[in-house]
Structure 1
Amino acid sequence: MSGEWSSFTPLDVTVQNGLCALIPCNYWYPSYLNNKPRIGIWFNSEASNDNNVALHSKDSSKESTKFRHRTRLSGDLGDNNCSLVIDNVTQQDAGPYIFRVEFGRGDGFNYYPVTQLHITALKHHGQTLTCRVRYPTVSSEQILTLNVQYAPQNLSITSPDNVNNSWVSVNEGNSAAILCSVHSFPTSNLTWRHLGVTLNTTRSSNELWMEFPQLTRQDAGVYQCVAENEHGTAERDVTVTVEYAPWNLSITFPDNVSISRYQCVAENEHGTAERDVTLTVECE
């Protein structure tokens, strides 16, 4: 394969939150570049975006702040090994990764397809660990519960009303309640926000309700739930729409039209509005 640009990387890699991630990678290039110095770059994006550099083999100052001092190559670029190691992975590290090599003077290449990194929760939180010691005449046993700390994840928004893809629809005048919940340990502080204003908040809880006793059309808009503990932050938006009957019906006429009586009726599933007008216009 030394005569062409090609590589081998997996399409998907899955690792548990807080552990070390390895993205295996081997690459090949035209043979005339065999003895040339090279730079290896990993991007946390679909393309070679300088704002999302996960690793730069020559200049670590070009790496994104969140990756600095956490990434390294597991092998030697000179041996066609471009495998990436990420220490202490978090949910923020999930996403696409792509490798690029640069030889200088315009000789460089992005190796596709990208690898998707998936971060899963630690399955061991809340499980028990049993230690048993046995001797010929006596035995002892102790049971411990494992407490694994992790950042907020799996944040969800639910409501007894119509919820569809982060969208809640309620009739004007009705009440509504929306629940924000998250998984984390220790428990998270939750906050509901709208237009940059904090509506309500709770500390050390993984659930927070937002309630509307009587919705008006002014309550429509985008609301944001933010969960935070000492290990990280998660957030999600929900759009509230308010349905209402026709109102503020108006009637206008073009010039030079003579109408003695005119009626306009507006109707939707929530109600009807109508308006009459009597108008005499002199036409020249």
Structure 2
Amino acid sequence: MWCLKLLLPLLLIVNDVSSQWNVWVPRDISAMTNTCVVIPCTFMYPSGIRPYRGVHGIWYYGQPYPQLFPPVVFKTRTDVVHESYKGRTKMLGDLQQRNCTLLINSLGPEHSGRYYFRADLGGANIYTFPDFAELKVLEQPNIDVPEEIVSDESLTLTCYAPDNCPDMSPEIEWMYTDYLPDPEFSSDYQEEGNTVVLSRTLVFTPRPAHNGQLLGCRIYYPNTTLVYERLVSLDIKYAPRSVWVNVSSEVMEGSSVTLHCEVDSNPPPRISWRFGAQELLWDTASNLSLTVDDMTPAEEGVYTCVGDNGYGTMNTSLYLAVKYPPREPVVNDTLTVLEGASLMLHCSTQGSPPPTLTWLKDGELVGTITADELSVLEIESITPQGDGQYRCLAENEHGRASSSLNITVEYAPVLLDESKCTVVREGVQCVCIATGNPEPTIEFYLPDLNVTINETEGRYNFYTHTDGQTSTGMIKLREKGERASNDGPAVNVHCSISNIYGRESVLLELQQEKKYLMAVIVGTIGGVAVIAFIIAAVRYVGHNNKKENGFPRQDVVLENPALYYSAVKKDKQNLRKKVGEDGDFQPAGSLAGMERQELNYAALELSGPREGLSGRGDDGSSYAEIKAK
């Protein structure tokens, strides 16, 4: 009855073609293994043919040509069929009514294929229809899965079970759906081409987390042990949802570093490493590593990994810091400035981490220590003491570097306290010491004599010396008129110092030289003894001469010893050997070997006391200066 209902529409279709050989069978039909299948079939033959001894039919498997001996599935004249169909086939249709419907039981996978029907009306009226029904014997359910499943877009999956076996009706259920968000189920019964298919539909919205998850469809037949299952793995396409890279890191200059990137997406993305706008490396994969050798500070910065798989783009960045010691600082050029000027010394460098900058002057700390790549040292109203070498020292944990500059301070000359006139044995010695930049020029001026003493004036013993920014000038006033008196120097001495920034003239103060005074005291005591010895020797010689010449002996009275002393200038060196050039007393020694004429002259200058030159010693003894000319 089930088959007749299926064939009624077909009989109506072929009424208009009753004069032709024709057959109708479903092109595709399916069944589960170990179940049965009914292949609906209706055929037509020309109306002018009268079947001889009734209508017979044959079902072939694989091909329609008997001469090629295809397997016989069913034959009405005999029960001789192919071994694989013995006891499995049965003609359900009435061939006299042009119904060739076939039943096949206990299907196996080997029964899948094409089935052809051959009508036998007797005699030469035998015809094999070229149309065929293709049977698919299924071992598991069919699941309709879309070619592309996209995350966050509604997905419909349908599981199909053929229902072409009259004695068995299937049931369908979905498995492993507990993890799905809000799944929806629905069932449908479809008839198409006189075949029946039962379906069960699942609808849900997949997420990236569902990629690779399993879903299952189960077909079972109640009151039997037949169960069929199929599992599918969800291939869910989704844009990159995470891009993992190294954390920001620090590397030393000259070292190598490897940056890793992993992207979670489906399908695998095109991964690229970028430094700024520059693409360094790319590949289509789920991960990509970038190695940078011999790092330089120029390669410090933001590195970005970009993942793009056509469904979306995502990126993650890291900062790669390159550590290195400070570079040689850049400082001002060497400067020459005028006293009182204000300066700003700049020191700039680069280093990672940022270095500390320290200013040193001649090795001593000046200013403050700055933790930056720029330091400015401000000097307000610079003084001559600001002259020297300034060094900027840059330091960080990886090393140090420094640069220096020299500052030369120019200023007007300044007379130092050491400048003075001093009474010495030879007379008066005047020293003038001044500092300035450029070094000062020194002159002496004697206003009482209206005389300027410098290197061009040769009458006086003039000496000058320059040591850096310090100039020293010295004169010795030897002439008698230039000697000191009790009231001060006979001639006033002015020191004149000058350079391009100024000029100054100062009257030098007269001071006693302690060393000279001690020499006078000691020399005086020794001198008195020598003079006494000389007088005694002269008297002795005179006495002897008188005695030898027959003259009576008498003493020599020196009314003006200075005249005699001045007469022996030419032999003063002999006397100095006895008295001492620096005024210190030396023993005269024996005069026994002296020739007579060497003792014929001697003089003693006994002038009145002079301030700073004669007087009493600390012990009350008298002293006087002895001078040999």
TM-score calculated relative to the size of structure 1 = 0.50
Greater relative CO (CA pairs within 8 A, separation 6+): 1
Structure in which a larger fraction of residues adopt strand: 1
Quick check: which has more Rg, 1 or 2? Answer: 2
TM-score calculated relative to the size of structure 2 = 0.24
